[in-house]
Amino acid sequence: MSRLVIVSNRVARPESLSKGAQGGLAVGVLAAMAEAGGLWFGWNGRIENRPVSEIRQERRKNIDFVTIGLRQNEYNNFYRGYANSVLWPLFHQRPDLMNYRHHFRMGYLGVNRKYVDHLLPYLKEDDTIWIHDYQLIPMARMLREAGVKSPIGFFLHTPFPPLDLLRALPDHHDLLLEMLHYDLLGFHTLTDERGFHESIRYTLKGDISPSGLIDCMGHQTQTGVYPIGIETDEMPQLVKSGQRSQEYRQLKKELADRKLLIGVDRLDYSKGIFHRFKAYEQLLKNHNELHRQIVYMQVAPTSRGDVNAYGQLAQQIDQAAGHVNGTYADFDWTPLRYLNRGFRRNTVLALYNLSHVGFVTPLRDGMNLVAKEFVAAQDADDPGVLVLSKMAGAAAELDSAVIVNPYDTEAVAQSLADAIEMPLDERIDRWKQMMTVLERNNIHAWQKNFRADLIARPHDLSKS
């Protein structure tokens, strides 16, 4: 099999994963890389001052990590700007939070060009190239222009917006065209794939076959649905090691007989944390009998704190958490524990195992691996209940969760009450059904299916 070359904006080392500092993309890509081996290229996460970027290569087991830095203006226009102040809010259906600037687009193209220029010397003829996420959409066009003939695939880890929203992006025409330079485009859900098809049909007048093969402006691009999964096999071991952590043991002792509800998210407006706090407040208002019987712990480490919308969110969440505790806390009970920090991955998994309810209610999410990991971290004989937003990609697969609309505060509150009281046999039934899906669509299936489809594509026939 040809060598796998993965490009993602951030490159994650195995040790940073265990510290819990990364999102779902990093966990998924690292698992894929660990299995297949190859080269992983991307940003080292640092801002550098030197005029010429230092490139570092480091080999760990079967993976070559190749990383570069970003200059301050590149970081501002590419990362804070076009990627996270334009594409991210738009793709998560928040055009009101978009801050569009022409120089952001220039910065985005500039950094994509820089990644291509630095990657080229490392490429071999028979590589298979797999680019990840919204930060790097133009890379295939640029690689083709540089003469690269290898198969090039792209996976979008976020949702893809419906046409009516996409049209709010001044460059949406160029963005769609850039996506057509890939041989294979992967989405988490059918909704995302259909949204893309609709935009191609309407905006670029492309033809799309029932199997998802697009014929448009001289390009032939296959699309497909590949829901990212998790490594289910490693969970029991990780949970066990997390149970030895000081945080786990302390919390278990403090909880005594109280039931734990847990939420774990990057502090991002797409995660619906504010709405979640409101629903929890409603639960406490409606259910006096649950006072002192439950504790909700929300773990939300700061993310993209220097992007405006995120700074405002942090204040809003602080206030909402204070309001819940100000209204309901007593000297011997803190109903909401909001922790604006991260924990080691195995500790988080052990906390899932300790919880009675996984409270996962994003307003919009590509997949949401917290939902999947929560389920996989449960004990078969006494599993917790997943309360999951219908707006998360995971809801398409995990339909045995308690599915909620995160905008319906009263219904979410009632679903929480139902989850807290759910009888054991129903909890076991739901959990078994979800585990069957998770074991079938695991992380290995995700990477194998995508790579097999990419390699099977006749590539570079129509591309420049």
Q: Which is nearer to ligand F6P, 219 or 304 (CB)?
A: 304
Question: Distance between CA atoms of 77 and 330, rounded to whole angstroms?
Answer: 47
185 contacts 223 by C-beta, under 8 angstroms: yes
What is the contact surface with ligand F6P in residues (CB under 6 A)?
9-10, 23-26, 133, 157-158, 303-304
Q: Which is nearer to ligand F6P, 158 or 282 (CB)?
A: 158
Looking at beta carbons, which residue is closest to ligand F6P? 23
CB of 463 to ligand F6P, least distance (A): 25
Question: Distance between CA atoms of 282 and 191, rounded to whole angstroms?
Answer: 31
Question: Distance between CA atoms of 115 and 44, rounded to whole angstroms?
Answer: 12
172 contacts 163 by C-beta, under 8 angstroms: no
Q: Which is nearer to ligand F6P, 307 or 434 (CB)?
A: 307
Question: Distance between CA atoms of 123 and 128, rounded to whole angstroms?
Answer: 10
CB of 354 to ligand F6P, least distance (A): 26
CB of 421 to ligand F6P, least distance (A): 34
CB of 383 to ligand F6P, least distance (A): 27
Q: Is 19 left (phi over 0), alpha (psi -120 to 50) or beta?
A: alpha
- Closest C-alpha among 105, 144, 141, 111 to residue 41: 111
Dihedral sign, CA of 177, 24, 44, 445?
negative
Distance of CA 142 to the CA centre of its chain: 25
Burial code of 34-69, b = ≥16 C-beta within 10 A, e = fewer? Answer: bebebbbbbbbeeebeeeebeeeeeeeeebbbbbbb
386: three-class secondary structure by DSSP: strand
CB of 159 to ligand F6P, least distance (A): 10
Amino acid identity at 274: F
Catalytic residue IDs: 157, 365
Question: Distance between CA atoms of 36 and 449, rounded to whole angstroms?
Answer: 13
Q: Which is nearer to ligand F6P, 304 or 345 (CB)?
A: 304
CB of 109 to ligand F6P, least distance (A): 18
CB of 224 to ligand F6P, least distance (A): 19
Write the DSSP symbol of residue 394.
G
**Token pair recorded at residue 287:** 């259910």
Question: Distance between CA atoms of 230 and 351, rounded to whole angstroms?
Answer: 18
Amino acid identity at 292: R
> Distances from the Cα of 351 to the Cαs of 199, 277, 299, in angstroms?
42, 19, 11
Q: Which is nearer to ligand F6P, 22 or 442 (CB)?
A: 22
Q: Which is nearer to ligand F6P, 134 or 196 (CB)?
A: 134
**Strands 55-60 and 63-71, bridge-based pairing:** antiparallel
Q: Which is nearer to ligand F6P, 75 or 374 (CB)?
A: 75
